[in-house]
Structure 1
Amino acid sequence: MMSFVQPFSVGSSCKALRKGAPRGARPPQQATAAIFSLGKSSEKRTKAKAELLEVISRLSRGASASASDKEEVEQLAQQLERINPTKKVLASPLLSAKWELKYTTSASILGTNKPPFLRPQGPIYQTIDAAELTAKNQETWPFFNQVKAELTPETSSRVAVQFKEFRILGLIPIQAPPSARGKLDTTYLDEDLRISRGDKGNLFVLERAGPVE
């Protein structure tokens, strides 16, 4: 797991104190307590992530989720959001990646208002390039639909999304109207998991699938 603190030795800290540490230096007892606290936070996140991923693994990205399933996922997502290790998401190098959608409450993405044979069957990806402020959503088998968007930062974690181009079957380009827009707030981010919320109230849970392509 990526570390958010500089590594140091408790033993070397004690030695410095004996020689006369600079004013304001943290006593070794406090340093040890800080390390212990970081370890507990990491352990808590690992456990919460495992619980969330275990629950959503049986929900077909959310298409088969009951009301009680959705409530359970919501509670687990909120638990992780409260211990989000990445406070300035848009400034983090972790955000730029190809992400696979593992769960959402969005009926339009899941296609739950369509017959099962018309719903996306293969993986669904979202690629975010924070440096270029672009995003791309990609369905795979059987339809391979895509949509490209431009992003405008609004806060340290939220962007306005302006959809620019749809591609039907991955081939037929259609320019998106100006009204095709929304907002996306990334409320949890670490090296392999991302939780985001849209302006329509939908929840998205994604796992890192690879680098920006």
Structure 2
Amino acid sequence: MAMPSLALIPQSPASISHRLTSSPSPVRNLIPCNTNGILQYSMWRHSQSRRKRNLVLISAVDQVSVIDPPPPPPPGNGGPPGGLVASLKLNLLSAVSGLNRGLAANEDDLRKADDAAKELEGVGGLVDLTVDLDKLQGRWKLIYSSAFSSGTLGGSRPGPPTGRLLPITLGQVFQRIDTVSKDFDNIVELQLGTPWPLPPVEVTATLAHKFELIGSSKIKIKFEKTTVKATGNLSQLPPLDIPRIPDQFRPPSNTGNGEFEVTYLDSDTRITRGDRSELRVFVIS
């Protein structure tokens, strides 16, 4: 009498699962199991009978079957594609690179920088600081100012002139903004020439302001004081506060106050346009 085939002998799912998962046969790698280790035997037989050739990847953690990865999600909130924004930001950075923050810009450079900024502003849409004020928080590095092409550090406002004949070298320029205390500090690193053989004096000037919102994207700043701190070899010297000149003695064009509009803002890039048509580009530092 012939012995019955093992394939016809009823066996428990647990025993079948043990035999197949412990077998060296490559077939076991194509059989999906659930997290409790129970073999989905009937589903596998049905799939094999239809001769499907789907590749099934078994997760090493919980053995969840995955066939195809999901498609990338569409841009959220109807905003522009991230790739387009990144491309336009790169285009703007390329337009202002090599211009020494605008000090070396000519008319053609000014036009290219302005066009690149307008493209990014157009894609970014209107800035609403009543909602996104926290994005201003932090220390921002100035990488371009159209006003510096005028030959003075004040741009169209009165300011120290620049040039090889004067012992003033402009270093890095920052804006430090605290949205809670409403502090708005312009920080300028300067190198002051001294008579030979003395080395140049390095200082950091902090022009402290308070700011307030006027409208959804416009900011008004009010000057408070200037603090000068020596750095480098003279960093042990205490900071020096320069008294504010009374308003009645200030020229009408230099009251210490100003207004500008934030025309583009995200987590690492900011574009502003001042009340004298000054274009500034900042990156978070």
TM range (shorter): 0.7 to 0.9
Q: Structure 2 residue aligned with 1:98, among 127, 136, 139?
A: 139
Distance 1:176 1:125 in 2: 23
Equivalent pair of 1:164/1:176 in contact (CA under 8 Å): no
Q: Distance in 2 between matches of 1:199 and 1:181?
A: 11
Instruction: Tell whether the 8 Å contact from 1:101 to 1:123 is kept in structure 2 after alignment.
Output: yes
Cα deviation for residue 168 of structure 1 reads 3.9
Gap regions ≥5 residues in structure 1 = 1-31
Of the three residues 255, 261, 271, the one matched with 1:195 is 271
- Equivalents in 2 of 1:66, 1:122: separation in Å? 20
- Aligned: 1:88 with 2:139: no
Q: Distance in 2 between matches of 1:207 and 1:140?
A: 17
The SS at the match of 2:261 is: strand
Q: Deviations over 1:154-207 (max 9, x none)?
A: 011111111111224552322254422110211101111100111011011001
* CA gap 1:118/1:68 in 2 versus in 1, 3 angstroms: same
- The CA distance in 1 between the partners of 2:274 and 2:75, in whole Å, is 35
CA distance in 2, matches of 1:112, 1:176: 17
TM-score (normalised: structure 2): 0.56
Which residue does the alignment assign to 2:188? 139
8 Å Cα contact 1:85/1:190 also seen in 2: no
> Does 2:241 align with 1:172?
yes
The structure with more radius of gyration: 2
Q: What corresponds to 1:35 in structure 2?
A: 74
1:123-180: CA deviations, max 9, x gaps?
A: 1110111222220011124231220111121011111111111224552322254422
> Where in structure 2 are the equivalents of 1:1-213 lying within 5 Å?
35=74, 41-84=81-124, 87-92=127-132, 93-107=134-148, 108-109=152-153, 113-116=161-164, 118-142=167-191, 143-169=203-229, 171-178=240-247, 179-209=255-285
The amino acid of 2:140's aligned partner reads W
Deviates more, 1:128-137 or 1:37-46: 37-46
Q: Which string of whole-angstrom CA distances, capped at 9 and with x for unpartnered residues, describes residues 19-62 of structure 1?
A: xxxxxxxxxxxxx9x91585852211100100111221111101
- The residue type equivalent to 2:221 in the other structure is V
Aligned length: 178
Q: 1:109 to 1:89 in 2, by over 3 A?
A: farther
Q: Point out the more displaced range, 160-169 or 84-93.
A: 84-93
Which residue identity does 1:130 align to in structure 2? Answer: T
**Maintained 8 Å contact 2:80/2:124:** no
Given that residues 261 and 274 in structure 2 are in contact (C-alpha distance below 8 angstroms), is that contact kept between their aligned partners in structure 1? yes
Given that residues 151 and 162 in structure 1 are in contact (C-alpha distance below 8 angstroms), is that contact kept between their aligned partners in structure 2? yes
Instruction: Calculate percent identity across the aligned residue pairs.
Output: 23
Equivalent residues of 2:272, 2:280 under 8 A apart: yes
User: Given residue 103 of structure 1, which amino acid in structure 2 is its aligned partner?
Assistant: Y
